[in-house]
Amino acid sequence: MRIKLAVPAVAVVLGAVLLLTSAQVLAHHAFAAEFDVNKPLTLKGSLLKWDMVNPHSWFHITVKEKDGKTTTWLVEGGSPNQLIRMGVTKNTVPIGTELVVEGYQAKDGTNKAVGRNFVLADGKRLFLGGSAGGVSDPAKVK
């Protein structure tokens, strides 16, 4: 009797584990799911806010447009752990830092992008990790 009950119990536990792990995999997107390799961009602005949350960091960048208005862009970077391992911390890029972001725009056309690099005023280039790592260099200026 115990053997007959053990097999269904194992199947139920295994099924629950598979469901939970598949939900996590589906929740995390790939580059191509949200960003467009055919929409490279370069944003010049200042760091307004930095959210260090998993699975991605989010950089809020204030960009001054040609007409003088400012626009806030949300730029996705790698996970906090990945950035810290590469030497990119909140001390490296404090709020208010002027920078250039090289990346790719969201497919939906909103002011959201995935960042490849930050280029600081002194020319130092910081790799942002994340999903844009192996994509070709950006060319458009926004």
Domain boundaries, the chain: 31-132
For residues 36 and 141, give the distance between their C-alpha atoms in angstroms, rounded to a whole number: 15
At 11, the pLDDT band (50, 70, 90 cuts) reads low
**Non-local CB neighbours of 99 within 8 Å, separated by 6+ positions:** 44, 45, 46, 47, 61, 93, 118, 119, 120, 121
What was the pLDDT predicted at 102?
95
For 57-86, write each residue's pLDDT tens digit.
Answer: 999 999 998 999 999 999 999 999 999 998
Report the distance separating Cα 40 and Cα 42, nearest Å. 7
- CATH topology classification for 31-132: OB fold (Dihydrolipoamide Acetyltransferase, E2P) (2.40.50)
Residue 30's identity, in one-letter code, is A
Has residue 116 got a pLDDT over 70? yes
The whole-model pTM stands at 0.71
Check residue 122 and give its pLDDT.
94
pLDDT computed for residue 136 by the predictor: 42
Is residue 10 within a helix (H) or strand (E), and if so which, with residue range?
helix 2-27
